[in-house]
Amino acid sequence: MGLGCLNDCLNFFANNMIGSGSKRNKKRKKGRGWRILLLVFLLVVFLMVGAAVALYFTLIFDLPRLTTLKDYQPYVVSEVYSDDEVLIGEFFIERRLIVPLSQMPKLLIKAFVAAEDARFFEHQGIDYWRILGAAFRNIEALEVVQGGSTITQQIAKSFFLTPERSITRKLKEAILAQRIESYLTKNEILYLYLNQIYLGEGAFGVAAAAKTYFGKSVQDLTLAECAILAGLPPAPNNLSPLRHPKKARERQLYVLHRMVERRLISPVQAIRAGAEEIRLRPKGPKGYHEAPYAVEQVRMYIEEKYGKEILYKRGLKIYTTLNFRMQQVAQKAVLKGLEEFEDREGKGKGKGQVQGALIALDPQTGYILAMVGGRDFAASQFNRATQARRQAGSAFKPIVYAAALDKGFTPATVIVDEPFSYIDVPGKEPWEPQNFDREFWGPITFRKALTFSRNVVTVKIAQSIGIDYLIQYARNLGIKSTLEPNLSLALGAANVSLLEMTNTFGVFAAQGYRAEPILITRIVDKDGNILEEVEPSAIEVISPQTSYLITSLMQSVIQEGTGQRAKALGRPAAGKTGTTNDTRDAWFLGFIPQVLVAGAWMGYDIEKPLGTHETGAVAALPIWLEFMKEAVDGKVVENFSVPEGIVFTKTDAVTGEPVGPKQPAKSGKVIFECFKEGTEPTIN
């Protein structure tokens, strides 16, 4: 029994021990499983944290430093102004004008914040609620209809990142946004944003956009205009009021609604702004507004002297001598003259592209007041007022006659208009100049010869004074083009520019003083430093007496000669027509006392004839007259002043002989002729 009991006890113990060992093994296995799971979880977390850290350091490894934001130096528009400070042209890579936040309307700032980042003043660079709300709206619409970027994130992208759409870029953007928030104040961020953001039509920043869309300074924007600009950032070109006015209007109302929601404006303000009529600035040619040929002259000068970097990026203010009103008048006059020519010649509008040009100067200062270099700058940038060299024809004759006055000739000197031949080059056929009418008038006075533009007499005068003397005289008056030493120069065979010729006539208008033509008076950089300033200067190149005499002779051209159409100006004026062989070039140059000289030209670029009757009087003079009528409107009517040393004597208008009580005029026509004192004829 004892042994049995022992066996039973051992069996019981063995059974119980085996059972509990099995349970312990099961528990042990279960614990080990949890530990493995925990280890795997910790490993995954560790790897994820490590990956996140590695990604973070990878992302920040090449992130730029934010110090550039403190020294904000963006590309800024260089502007060109007329003499009355009207903007006439711009040069830019990015059309941007920088203005401080203090000069921006508060409603403009509120409009952008309401539309682009309502919690801008509350978040630290990232608006998580905005991101969540945008995600729900995008899922609901099954497309991207709203972004979650804050203004600070937009600054980060604009200044430092590429526009690519990727998770990496968005992560970098978020990191930079938070850094920017800790580096700059909210106002500094807004200053950068509102000056940097692209708002369509080539305009960067709110100031440039205000000029582009409304033609006004940013300070003068209304609430309605502010709302339009604030609605542009999501899609500047698609929401442009110049291209898509309906979309721009819808976006404007959205911005006003958001401003009301944020209690930035009252509902009444929103209603009034929504009802306001918006006046948009018409879309014009990029950078060249009212005086394209003159603005192009400015561009070439500054680019050559200062370089493209300064011109296109440094925000220069370039002040010119152009008068805005005169420039507009000049452009209209040239186009009208070309259209009238096409009507006369039976050509379609613009067919064959006959060209015209006009230059107007202040003869006292040399200031260029108006410049038109062709009919259409967009079609051809070649400036026919400054770059073209064309034969001046009879417009050159006043230079010959002025030179002769300083060589002993007087307005009453008689020269015979008769057949004339001259051997220019030994062994070649003699040159036989002809008058325009192919006739010869016999003995005529110096005055009459210029009044009616007699070619043969002019050549004889040039031969008498000497061709070398004539060339030097022309140089002294301001002709810089090449002048060949032959007698055909007297008839305007040399190729000269309209600017040269107009400036030369300016010497006569300024009583003998030559002023160099000036287009730019001052260049100022964006910091207000004056880079260049030009003061007018003039030197006396001929005497006031000679100047007055040649002016008097050219008054006769208008009163009774080839320039009679100019009498319609209704005030004292002097001038000269110019027509070349085969009517390839038509000119008229003229001036009124002291204040204005202008020259007009018409011709084809390929130098073909304008037409049998298209002389300077018919083709060019009407352009000059149309311009001068409006340009001198409101100016006091004056006579040409008579300098000391000029005397007037009664003479026979035909023979030039003095007339007295006992010696009446043989022709029966008497005039009071002007002479330099001591050269007047006397009665024997």
370 in Cβ contact with 652 (< 8 Å): no
116, 201, 626, 673: the catalytic one is 116
Alpha carbon distances (Å) from 132 to 114, 147, 150, 196, 450: 18, 10, 13, 27, 88
DSSP annotation of 541: -
Q: Report the DSSP pairing between strands 355-361 and 78-81.
A: unpaired
657 in Cβ contact with 666 (< 8 Å): yes
CB 240: neighbour CB atoms within 10 A? 23
Give the span between the Cα atoms of 552 and 479, in whole angstroms.
22
Give the span between the Cα atoms of 43 and 49, in whole angstroms.
10
DSSP annotation of 662: T
Give the span between the Cα atoms of 221 and 162, in whole angstroms.
32
Specify the length of the chain in residues.
684
Q: What residues contact residue 168 under an 8 Å CB cut-off, 6+ apart?
A: 59
78, 82, 149, 394: the catalytic one is 394
Give the closest residue to 555 by CA, choosing from 415, 671, 417, 391: 671
Structure tokens at 396: 């050159």
Identify the three-state secondary structure at position 323.
coil
Give the span between the Cα atoms of 442 and 209, in whole angstroms.
70
By 3-state DSSP, what share of the chain in percent is helix, strand and coil, each rounded to 5? 45, 15, 40
**Which amino acid does the sequence have at 268?**
V
Catalytic site residue 102?
Answer: no
Catalytic site residue 182?
Answer: no
Q: What residues contact residue 359 under an 8 Å CB cut-off, 6+ apart?
A: 368, 370, 371, 372, 385, 386, 498, 499, 502, 598, 599
What are the catalytic residues? 116, 394
